[in-house]
Amino acid sequence: MVKRSSGELLFSITVDRTLETSVTTQLYNAIRKLITSGDLPGGKRLPSSRTLSTELGLSRTTTMSAFERLQAEGLIYSISGSGSYISEIAPAGKPEQTLSVEAPAATGPTRSSLSATLNAASSRFVERLPHPRAPRAFVTGVPDYNSFPLAIWARLTAKHLREEREYVLGYSDPEGDPRLRRAIAEHLRSNRGISCAPEQIFIVNGAQQAFDLIGRMLINPGDKVWFENPGAIGARNSLIASGAELVPVPVDAEGMQVAEGLRLAPDFRLAFVTPSHQHPTGAEMSMARRAALLQAAYDSDGWIIEDDYDGEFRYDGRPLPTLKSGDTADRVIYVGTFSKSMFPSLRLGFYIAPQSLVPTFRHLSRAFLQGVSLGMQSVLASFLEEGHFVAHIRRMREIYAERHASFYAAAQEHLDGLLDIRRSSAGFHTVGHFASPRMTETEVVADARAAGLVVSALESFAIGPSLTPKGLILGVTAIPPRAIRAGVETLARVLEPYR
């Protein structure tokens, strides 16, 4: 039998756009099967993403995403300037004969394998690309790992393991360690203007779990939920999975357009906002809009999720007041995370339940959760109590302000006429709008990733019709100024042909 070349095998892949499984996942599964079966042997060079995209009729973004997932799994590797190659792995052998009937090859979950709610929602989920192992330009939502006071953290960890071994190695209260809840309440009172009882604070495995629990708690299938457009992907997926009918509410320089939300869905059940630093546009919600939103929630007997994901990091004066700090009617569920202010693998976040919902959220926690790592909670409580967290935030504000300034200086020199940069005085990222109508997000993102950059398209955060103007989201806090400048120069080379 004549063996087919790697190109022929890959070019014969087909995808079915009628399936609920995304095209990216179908392509990834097909290539993975060819590799693990041994049909694509180790050391073979893959066709370029551009060539494969053209042959299969797919966007380069789709192909690049599939390649990135394969590389993250160790099935392929790339050589700069040469291309991508199959890794040397042992192919899966033929299974021994058994009495069982061989199941047909699956391309994804079948309709009957999903719950009715998830089956209806899954086609609206947006997949997020995995973060690179080591930060590089221009990854978003990632802090500077090298500036974290690891020695202090290690000392506190050793202390708790030495003095409280049986406690920190055991199960946590599902609602969270009481000492940590008290420490967070005190920090919020002193630094974010929020007054709440420790009993209102629930510890979770990051903000994403908070969104999931809140959705399960408050959303009935078909409930209308105001959602910023463009808006955060993680919260969007969780609320869709809860059965919400998302109502995309436009965002401008003053944040969510509350009047438009009232026009679209005056009877909304829930509103999701990032008022201190809107994700992804960077807009700051005006005080007038905040007051209007709080009033709208009160009038509709609805609730508001305030995601304060990077509200600690403002570089022009003091951080903006939280929406929760002005919530006299107790309609706001405030969500915070330590993953971005400290380090992502900490996986510690929290939410503040309105007083009237505390008993129900307590019941939900005790019914479904076993709690978050008690060791990490104990160390974090000491980190807060001893003032290390506030000192760390203060230091990181200075470092991040310098990095923002470095980015803007380099952008002014190299990206003028290519990107219109929206200056941000807060957060981890900035937004650059395309200066030329010839630029398309799909092509630019694919070319930038091929050049080793990590960029995201602004449009990928939109719900419904494409947004204008088009552009990129560029993280500027994870890498030092020299790497920022090098990244800007690389991005300029990527964009120059589109001028």
Residue 219 has pLDDT above 80, yes or no: yes
- Asked if domains 23-86 and 392-498 share a fold, the reply is no
Do β-strands 456-457 and 471-475 pair in parallel, antiparallel, or remain unpaired?
A: antiparallel
For residues 345 and 400, give the distance between their C-alpha atoms in angstroms, rounded to a whole number: 20
Average pLDDT score over the chain? 88
Q: How confident is the model at residue 370 (pLDDT cuts 50, 70, 90)?
A: confident
Per-residue pLDDT tens over the stretch 274-321 = 999 999 999 999 999 999 999 999 999 999 999 999 888 988 877 778
Supply the pLDDT for residue 16. 82
pLDDT for the residue numbered 218: 96
pLDDT of residue 476: 94
Give the end-to-end CA distance of the chain in Å, rounded to a whole number.
Answer: 51
Pick from 93, 44, 154: which is nearest to 379 by CA? 154
Of these ranges, 157-161, 180-184, 365-369, the one predicted with the greatest mean pLDDT is 180-184
> Is CATH 3.40.50.970 what the domain over 118-125+164-386 is classified as, yes or no?
no
H or E stretch at 71? helix 60-72
Q: Span 461-490, mean pLDDT? A: 90
CA 55, CA 203: separation in Å to the nearest integer? 49
Distance CA 317, CA 319 (A): 7
Give residues with Cβ within 8 angstroms of 217, minimum separation 6.
357, 360, 361, 364
Q: Is the pLDDT score of 125 beyond 70?
A: no
Domain boundaries, the chain: 23-86, 118-125+164-386, 392-498
pLDDT digits (tens, 9 = 90+) for 245-265: 999 999 999 999 999 999 999
Least confident span in 44-58, 252-266, 348-362:
44-58
Q: Does domain 23-86 have CATH number 2.80.10.50?
A: no
Instruction: Write down the pLDDT at residue 77.
Output: 81
Instruction: Name the DSSP letter for residue 179.
Output: H
The pLDDT-based confidence of 126 (bands split at 50, 70, 90) is: low
Q: Which fold has domain 392-498?
A: Aspartate Aminotransferase, domain 1 (3.90.1150)
Tens digit of each residue's pLDDT (9 = 90 or more) over 53-88: 888 889 888 888 888 888 877 788 877 667 888 887
